[in-house]
Amino acid sequence: VEASIPEPQRAAWKKFTPKPFSTPEEFERETVRHIETTLARSLYNCDEFATYAGTALAFRDRLILDWNRTQQNQTFTDQKRVYYLSLEFLMGRALDNAMLNVGMKDVATKGLTELGFRIEDIVDQEHDAALGNGGLGRLAACFLDSLASLNYPAWGYGLRYRYGIFKQEIIDGYQVEVPDYWLDFNPWEFARHDIIVDIQFYGNVSKYQDDDGKTTSVWDGGEIVQAVAYDVPIPGYQTATTNNLRLWASKAASGEFDFQKFNSGEYESSVADQQRAETISAVLYPNDNLDRGKELRLKQQYFWCAASLFDIVRRFKKTKRAWKDFPNQVAIQLNDTHPTLAIPELQRILIDQEGLDWDEAWGIVSKTFGYTNHTVLPEALEKWSVPLFQHLLPRHLQIIYDINLNFLQYVERRFPKEREMLGRVSIIEESSPKMVRMAYLAVIGSHKVNGVAELHSDLIKTTIFKDFVRIYGPDKFTNVTNGITPRRWLHQANPRLSELIASKLGGYDFLKDLTLLHKIEAYVDDKDFRKEFREIKYANKVRLAKHIKQTTGVTVNPAALFDVQVKRIHEYKRQQLNIFGVIHRYLAIKAMSAEERKKLAPRVSIFGGKAAPGYWMAKTVIHLINQVGKVINADKDVGDLLKVIFLEDYNVSKAEIIAPASDISEHISTAGTEASGTSNMKFCLNGGLIIGTCDGANIEITREIGENNIFLFGNLAEDVDDLRHSHLYGTYSLDPSLAAVFEAIQSNLFGDATAFSALVNGIVAHGDYYLVSDDFASYCKTQELIDEAYRNQEEWVTKAITTVARMGFFSSDRCIDEYAEVIWNIEPLAPKV
Ligand code: GL7
């Protein structure tokens, strides 16, 4: 390719190829140039935000140069790539991460100081990229970091939402949602106005027979919307590999607006088409672990799948390879069922547009996809109504029916005596209206299906996909336990701890191979190391205490035990168990003698997390937490012994302050409901201990760090069904301490109790589905064990250091290597330098 360009041209290009900055002076020159020219600001009106913008643009330039080279290298080498399709990428801030990954934070710190700014203030100007709800979206972001850091040729594909997850305000103790318009200024994206894909909706399908009897389906009519690509460079850690995250924005196909209507005075309706088209990528659905089956959501899913597949197929076709090579060149990972439409879409491209016959096409499709399941909660499993499908995607519905027919015929041949199995495993649920079960389609169309922690991967095989294990055999199902990127969640969030570890291990290699952490166990008895370790934790708590003071006005004692539960508010995650426990503690303190009080370690219970706007019970929990906080924090008699904080607007950048500052964090879901959890890993990696149920990744964390270093409690997953059954059909007895808590609530101690009656009744009258009462006694008992353990600070530090040392397994690098080997069959590609 290069040889086709004349030498003088090549020489000129080479001469003028921008060189990335590498000294503070060069960084300053680039930053000032961007501030002066790109932003049209000057020395006299350059505030912190403009400086952030200039710095970000200087770093983006660097990333783009690496990005160009990485993409060229990938194209020329032409080895297999992986495409990670996710409706959510919860990226958080990019600047600090970019500076650390390219190893230029010191340079930038120096340069910014010379320009008169503090780097922390500059970093703090950035708006989080919050294109996700919670764990599922953050996992996708960690995976991108690992893919680039490990030099895998990989692209992410997602939607460029104009509004990310809403901003949460707490007003009078209630959650209020405010739109998150984050695109005012986003230096990290690169609009590709030349990369536009037409996406079709609605219309009709007709069949034609050609001369040799072959039928072709033609999908025409309907409506066209355009997808415009926006590229976000993803730098790896200490490597030139810079991968691409491509986000699609929707736009009207008809151009700006309808001029005829405009000229005839119908201005408003002339822009209506445009607005309708832009609505597709306007907003992220704010539900976590819940499917609401909205038409616009299905439109988003198809829009994004079709644009991404068009792009992937176009790239493949440029290589002029035969179609049978497609699965050797392309792996596509489906992050949950949200992108399942990619399966019938690829089949449609291959048969309707490329003219392959059904079986050949299906052979290709089913070797290309892998599907990750992230939940067994029934309310989260996606189903779309057949009439809606028929209306919006008529051709895809036909293809799904054909996939189903072939599949059911296969099942019938294999299990001729089990006719009733057919209805159970059919992609189409025979309800009214009929529904398309997306998880079944994803299983049938993928060559591997994985869960996200061992317990979860076992559960999917015995519950939702039980029949499919018999049909396909157990090898189709596998486990890849989740992980987190140590770059963001240790090095960036907790620089002092990272530095302390590096000082003992002789450098930062552990950030590339987290298993090296085990070597710090040798320092568990080292006096200086322990002292420094404790000081770091304390300093991180002081930082969080400042943040609490600034945002809530409440003063908390950094020497108190910080007990943290931050995650989406959901009944299955059981923040209600935690707050009932807090009330129990409050009542206990009130009844204690002065002597007893002296023995108790002061505690700060910190909550944070968003409730889906339509999730009333979750909002009630937020309200209760705030009301309890109001009463307890004002109770002078209790003072420092107990404080209750609700942190507003929990997000990735706040998590970076919170995770390093916890002594205990809570991961207390009803056993069997939390597929993995990933914040549990973040807290442990930062030297916090956890209280948790035997659920999700807590189990593997226990196996790695040892039972002595974790506070486990509660019923086991295998007993949950029986307990639920006994609540409904046996005699139900409420735990007596919990009854006392309810009495306190009902006495209006925390304001008008009717506000909380649904929450209480869910437990006392409606079956206590999440087993709050069953686990309450053991939860409170375990909290007492924590009080006791915290009194022995020496023991506590030993546990904390040991925990950090044994977290090596939970790096997302390890996950990505497992996916690469077991599911994608891809190899890293060394960057060309
Ligand atoms: C989730 C699970 O609930 C969570 O346990 C898991 O860690 C995460 C990533 O695998 O996926 N599933 C899900 O639907 N959401 C999650 O966060 C929203």
pLDDT in tens, 380-389: 999 999 999 9
598 is catalytic: no
- pLDDT at residue 262, rounded to an integer: 64
CA–CA dist 30, 111 (Å, integer): 11
Q: The dihedral of CA 35, 39, 41, 45: what is its sign?
A: negative
Ligand 1: does its nearest atom lie under 6 Å from the Cβ of 147?
no
- pLDDT at residue 273, rounded to an integer: 82
Examine the domain organization and report whether 658 and 777 are in the same domain. Answer: yes
Tell me what the pLDDT averaged over the chain comes to. 97
Examine the domain organization and report whether 158 and 119 are in the same domain. Answer: no
pLDDT in tens, 556-573: 999 999 999 999 999 999
Examine the domain organization and report whether 347 and 303 are in the same domain. Answer: yes
682 is catalytic: yes
476, 573, 574, 814: the catalytic one is 573
Examine the domain organization and report whether 268 and 313 are in the same domain. Answer: yes
- pLDDT at residue 1, rounded to an integer: 57
678 is catalytic: yes
pLDDT in tens, 21-75: 999 999 999 999 999 999 999 999 999 999 999 999 999 999 999 999 999 999 9
In a domain, 166, yes or no: yes
Averaged over 74-87, what is the pLDDT?
A: 97
Q: Which domain holds residue 258?
A: 78-93+128-481+820-824
Burial of residue 354 (number of CB atoms within 10 Å: 0-12, 13-18, 19+): middle
Residues present in the chain in total: 833
List b or e across 185-194, with b for residues whose CB sees 16 or more CB atoms inside 10 angstroms: ebbbbbeeee
Distance from the alpha carbon of residue 482 to the mean position of ligand 1, in angstroms: 10
Ligand 1 atom closest to Cα of residue 677: 7
In the chain, the percentage of residues whose pLDDT exceeds 70 is 98
Q: Where are the alpha helices (DSSP H) in 393-509?
A: 394-414, 419-425, 438-445, 454-462, 466-472, 486, 495-505
- pLDDT at residue 833, rounded to an integer: 74
Report angle CA 111, 115, 119 to the nearest 5 degrees: 60
Ligand 1: does its nearest atom lie under 6 Å from the Cβ of 164?
no
Examine the domain organization and report whether 358 and 467 are in the same domain. Answer: yes
Strand partners, 157: 85, 246
Distances (CA, A) of 409 to 360, 418, 425, 426, 438: 18, 12, 12, 11, 19
In a domain, 722, yes or no: yes
374, 488, 667, 806: the catalytic one is 374
The conformation of residue 518, written as its DSSP 8-state character, comes to: G
Examine the domain organization and report whether 72 and 152 are in the same domain. Answer: no
- pLDDT at residue 258, rounded to an integer: 58
pLDDT in tens, 144-181: 999 999 999 999 999 999 999 999 999 999 999 999 99
Ligand 1: does its nearest atom lie under 6 Å from the Cβ of 678?
yes
Does the pLDDT value for residue 478 go beyond 70?
yes
The conformation of residue 83, written as its DSSP 8-state character, comes to: E
Strand partners, 643: 604
pLDDT in tens, 421-458: 999 999 999 999 999 999 999 999 999 999 999 999 99
Residue with CA closest to ligand 1 atom 14: 289
Does the pLDDT value for residue 256 go beyond 80?
no
**Total structural domains within the chain:** 3
In a domain, 5, yes or no: no
374 is catalytic: yes
pLDDT in tens, 89-105: 999 999 999 999 999 99
Does the pLDDT value for residue 516 go beyond 80?
yes
Averaged over 703-723, what is the pLDDT?
A: 98
Element (DSSP H or E) covering residue 315: helix 295-318
In a domain, 699, yes or no: yes
Instruction: Give the pLDDT band (50/70/90) at residue 267.
Output: confident
Examine the domain organization and report whether 276 and 377 are in the same domain. Answer: yes
- pLDDT at residue 268, rounded to an integer: 74
Ligand 1: does its nearest atom lie under 6 Å from the Cβ of 570?
no
567 is catalytic: yes
Ligand 1 atom closest to Cα of residue 452: 10
In a domain, 693, yes or no: yes
- pLDDT at residue 731, rounded to an integer: 86
In the chain, the percentage of residues whose pLDDT exceeds 90 is 95
Ligand 1: does its nearest atom lie under 6 Å from the Cβ of 675?
yes
Examine the domain organization and report whether 623 and 559 are in the same domain. Answer: yes
Question: Taking Cα atoms as reference points, which of 221, 216, 201 lies closest to residue 353?
Answer: 216
Examine the domain organization and report whether 702 and 690 are in the same domain. Answer: yes
For residue 246, give the 3-state DSSP assignment: strand
Element (DSSP H or E) covering residue 818: helix 812-818
What is the number of other CB atoms lying within 10 angstroms of the CB of residue 205?
16
- pLDDT at residue 803, rounded to an integer: 99
- pLDDT at residue 266, rounded to an integer: 74
Asked if 376 and 462 touch (Cβ cutoff 8 Å), the reply is no
- ipTM field: 0.99
Ligand 1: does its nearest atom lie under 6 Å from the Cβ of 483?
no
In a domain, 142, yes or no: yes
Instruction: Give the pLDDT band (50/70/90) at residue 255.
Output: low
Distance from the alpha carbon of residue 139 to the mean position of ligand 1, in angstroms: 8
Averaged over 803-819, what is the pLDDT?
A: 99
Examine the domain organization and report whether 468 and 544 are in the same domain. Answer: no
In a domain, 509, yes or no: no
Distance from the alpha carbon of residue 260 to the mean position of ligand 1, in angstroms: 49
Distance from the alpha carbon of residue 76 to the mean position of ligand 1, in angstroms: 37
pLDDT in tens, 771-799: 999 999 999 999 999 999 999 999 999 99
Ligand 1: does its nearest atom lie under 6 Å from the Cβ of 696?
yes
- pLDDT at residue 183, rounded to an integer: 95
Domain harbouring 137, CATH code? 3.40.50.2000
Instruction: Give me the residue label for tokens 């020489």.
Output: 11
CA–CA dist 540, 543 (Å, integer): 5
- pLDDT at residue 259, rounded to an integer: 61
Asked if 800 and 601 touch (Cβ cutoff 8 Å), the reply is no
In a domain, 244, yes or no: yes
Examine the domain organization and report whether 646 and 606 are in the same domain. Answer: yes
- pLDDT at residue 128, rounded to an integer: 98
Averaged over 370-379, what is the pLDDT?
A: 98
For the ranges 3-12, 335-344, 611-620, 800-809, which has the lowest average pLDDT?
3-12
Amino acid 74 reads: Q
Examine the domain organization and report whether 135 and 283 are in the same domain. Answer: yes
